[in-house]
Structure 1
Amino acid sequence: MAGSRDLVKRQFGAHPERYVASAHHSKGESLDRMVDLAGAKPGWLALDVATGGGHTALAFAPLVREVVASDITREMLFAARRFVLAKRVSNVRFAAADALELPFAPHVFDLVTCRVAPHHFPDCARFLAEVARVLRPGGVAAVIDNVVPEDRSAADYMNALEKRRDPSHNRAYTAAEWQELFLGAGLEVMSTELFHKERDFDSWAGMQGADEETIADVRRMLEHARGAARAWLAPETRDRELRFYLTEILLVATRPPSAEGRRPS
C-alpha cells in the first residue's frame, strides 16, 4: 500500500500545474451537480479529500464557513494554494493528508467531498470508512469518480487501459460496486447520477507526461477495444482527432446518527 501512495506522489508531484490548468479537472457538469446536490450551508465546515488543483474546494468556498483542502502530494497542495489565493479566496486552508488515514478527529466536518481521485486509492473501502468517521451525524459525503461497465471483462480492459496510461491508477469501480462501498461504510446514498464526458485522446494520454511508446500502446488499446468496452468508450476519429468517452459517477450520501464512524483497523 505504501508503494501505491509513493507512486501517486511521484506521478502528481511531477506535473502539479497541469492539473491546476486542466479544463477537465477545473469544471464540468458533474462538479456543478455536486455543488447543487450537496446542499452546503454557510455555517458548514467542509473537507475536500485529494483536492488536486483545488477546484472543488474553490467551488464550495463561497457556500460554507471554511474548506479544508487536503492532498497526499505536497507539490499539488502548493500549486492548489497558489491557484486559490490568486482567486482572492480566504476561507480555504490546506492540509497534507492521506485519504486512507485522515488526520482529523471524529465528527468534525459537515461535508466531505472527493472528486476524480478514488481510482488512485489502494483501498476505497478504507477511504469511505474514514469519510464516515470524520463526518458529523447528518453530514454529507459527495464523491465523483470514473466508473467502468458492469461487464467484468470490459471493466478489466478499461482498468488495464488506464493503468497503461497512468501507473498511479489503481482501480475504477462499477456503479454497483460504489453502492456497496458506501453501504459498507455506513453511508446512506441519497442520489446517484452518471455523466458522459467526451475526451480528445492526445490531451488525455499526455496528461501524466507519458512517453511516445506508452501513448502509442494506449492508442492501440483504445482503438482495438471490443464488445462492452468499445460500446462504453465509443472511440471514433473526427477531423483527424481520436475522441472517446469516459463516464463519471456522482454519489451524494449522508452519515446517519447511528453510524459508528470509527477509524478502520
Structure 2
Amino acid sequence: MPQNPLATPGPWDAIADDYDEVTARTLRPFAARALELADPAPSARVIDIATGPGTLALLAAPRVQEVVAVDFAEAMIRRLRHTVMRTGATNVLTGIGDGQDLHYPSNRFDAAFSMFGVIFFPDKTKGFAEILRVLRPGGVAVVSSWAPTAQSPLMTLLSETYRAGIPGYVPRTPDPNGLENPEVLEKELAAAGFTDISVEPFSGSYTFDSVEQLWDAASRGSAPVSLLRARVDEATWKEQEQAMIEYLTANFTPGTELSSTALLARARKPL
C-alpha cells in the first residue's frame, strides 16, 4: 500500500508558515484542553511530539520547567525556533525527529503530548510505544485524534466545499477501526502498556466574519489542500478555487458558529 503523503515531511514543510498563521488558531483550544487534562506541575519536563509550529509547546512553556518540541518537518521546527527567539521562551527546546523513533532517554519526561500527530504515523504502535518509553513511571500522556467528520460541522462544510470544486475529490470516510473510534484509541493505549485511560470528546468553536476569511483558513494552512493544489496547473486551480468559494457563498452565513470535534485521550505510565 502506498504511504500516505501526509506521513512524510514534504507537505508540512510546504505550508509551515501559513499553518502557523492560520491553522494554529483552530488547534489552540485542543492544546489548551490537553494541558488541562495533563495538569503538569511547575517542575515538570514535557515533550510535545509532532509539535508543528509549537502550538501546544508554547502554551505549556509558561507553566512548566522545560518543554521539548519535536517534529519531522524541518520547516515547522524552523518556524518554532523563530517564535522562541521572538518571544523569549527559553525553556522550549526544539528538535527534528520521528515520533516513531524518539532520540531521547527513557523515563525522561513527566508529561507527553501528541496533538493530531500519531494519527498520521505509518506505525502507530511504535508511536504509542515511544511515548510510553520516554515517560517516567507515573507520567501522563495526552494524545488526540479527529472525531468522524459527521460530528464536526466545520469539517463537514469544508468536505462538501472541496467536493464542489475538485473533480474526483474523495471525502474522508468513517473508519471504525481507526483512532477516531474511542474504543480503538483506548485499546491502542492499553496495548502499549498505559493504564488509567480515559477518552473524551472535545469541540472547538469558531466564527468567521466572511466567506473569504473562512476560505483562507480552510485552504492556506492545509496540507491536504496543498497536495490537491499541486496536482493541477495554476489556471485549473483558480477555476476550482472559484467553484469552492461560490459553494461557500451559497452555503455559509458569515458569523455562524462552526465547531470541530476531536477525541482527547489521557493515560498514565504505570509506576
Return the TM-score normalized by structure 1.
0.73
Aligned to 2:202: 195
Q: Per the alignment, in what secondary structure is the counterpart of residue 263 of structure 2? A: strand
Q: Contact conserved, 1:193 with 1:251, CA < 8 A, in 2?
A: yes
After TM superposition, list the pairs within 5 Å mapping 1:1-265 onto structure 2: 3-4=3-4, 8-25=8-25, 28-148=28-148, 173-198=180-205, 202=215, 203-208=217-222, 209=226, 210-211=228-229, 212=237, 237-239=251-253, 245-257=259-271
How far apart are 1:76 and its partner, in Å?
0.9
Which letter maps to 1:188? Answer: T
CA distance in 1, matches of 2:27, 2:91: 20
CA distance in 2, matches of 1:150, 1:6: 22
CA distance in 2, matches of 1:243, 1:138: 39
Which letter maps to 2:47? Answer: L
CA distance in 2, matches of 1:23, 1:238: 19
CA distance in 2, matches of 1:245, 1:207: 18
Q: Per the alignment, in what secondary structure is the counterpart of residue 90 of structure 1? A: coil
CA distance in 2, matches of 1:79, 1:188: 35
What is the total number of aligned residue pairs between the two structures?
232
How far apart are 1:165 and its partner, in Å?
7.9
How far apart are 1:31 and its partner, in Å?
2.1
What is the aligned-residue RMSD (CA, Å)?
3.6
How far apart are 1:180 and its partner, in Å?
0.9
Q: Contact conserved, 2:20 with 2:221, CA < 8 A, in 1?
A: no
- Change in 2 beyond 3 A, CA 1:24/1:80: closer
How far apart are 1:43 and its partner, in Å?
1.8
CA distance in 1, matches of 2:239, 2:185: 30
Which sits farther off after the overlay, 206-215 or 26-35? 206-215
How far apart are 1:113 and its partner, in Å?
0.8
CA distance in 1, matches of 2:54, 2:11: 17
CA distance in 1, matches of 2:110, 2:92: 15
* Deviation string, structure 1 residues 173-224 (Cα, Å, up to 9, x no partner): 31121111111111124442212345676222443334238967x96xx99x
Which letter maps to 1:247? Answer: T
Which letter maps to 1:145? Answer: S
Q: Contact conserved, 1:19 with 1:25, CA < 8 A, in 2?
A: no
Which letter maps to 2:182? Answer: A
Return the TM-score normalized by structure 2.
0.72
Percent identity of equivalent pairs: 24
Which sits farther off after the overlay, 237-246 or 127-136? 237-246
CA distance in 2, matches of 1:129, 1:192: 18
Q: Contact conserved, 1:48 with 1:57, CA < 8 A, in 2?
A: yes
* Deviation string, structure 1 residues 217-259 (Cα, Å, up to 9, x no partner): x96xx99xxxxxxxxxxxx9232799964321111111012xx
| Structure 1 residue runs without a partner (length 5+) | 152-157, 224-235, 258-265
- Change in 2 beyond 3 A, CA 1:214/1:48: farther
How far apart are 1:121 and its partner, in Å?
1.4
Which letter maps to 1:127? Answer: G
- Change in 2 beyond 3 A, CA 1:3/1:27: closer
| Structure 2 residue runs without a partner (length 5+) | 152-158, 164-168, 173-177, 209-213, 230-236
Which sits farther off after the overlay, 183-192 or 101-110? 183-192
